Amino acid sequence: MLLAPLLTLLNVPVQGKVQQTCFIVGQQYSDKFPEVVMVELSNGTGTPHFQYRFEILRDIEAGWRYYTARFENGCLTPMHPVRVVEVEGEKYLRTDDHAAARDDLGKIPEI
């Protein structure tokens, strides 16, 4: 898989970004790989933002906090922290510590 070299190439610091907490409220999986392609983020303002998987991996490794979340009664409710799990040299996004070679963000809607 070419993902690891691609992540290395794209893992450059972005000036002006400040570490923060992000909430993932939607996910889109690839038909060909067991990986999330992109996610929908929310900061509670009602303006969604889409982010690619490699950006989330980079941010988590830089100290950002990501959580899955759902909207309940017009409010954003955090559910589970998102972790990076490494399996055979590849990194995956998971809400648990299982060493499975696939992303798993739990029960959040498909976008």
Residue 6 located in a structural domain? no
> What pLDDT, on the 0 to 100 scale, is given for residue 3?
37
Which structure tokens are listed for 47?
């303006």
Which structure tokens are listed for 52?
């690619």
CA atoms within 13 A on the CB side of 59: 20
Which structure tokens are listed for 76?
């954003």
> What pLDDT, on the 0 to 100 scale, is given for residue 80?
95
Domain total in the chain: 1
Residue 24 located in a structural domain? yes
Q: What is the pTM of this model?
A: 0.73
Residues of the chain with pLDDT under 50: 1-17
Domain enclosing residue 108, as ranges: 19-111
Residue 103 located in a structural domain? yes
Q: For the chain, give the DSSP string.
A: --HHHHHHHH--PPTT----EEEEEEEEE-SSSSSEEEEEEE-SSS--EEEEHHHHHHHHHTT-EEEEEEEETTEEEEEEE-EEEEETTEEEEESS----SS-B--S--B-
- Straight-line distance from the first to the last Cα atom of the chain, in angstroms, rounded to the nearest whole number: 25
Residue 28 located in a structural domain? yes
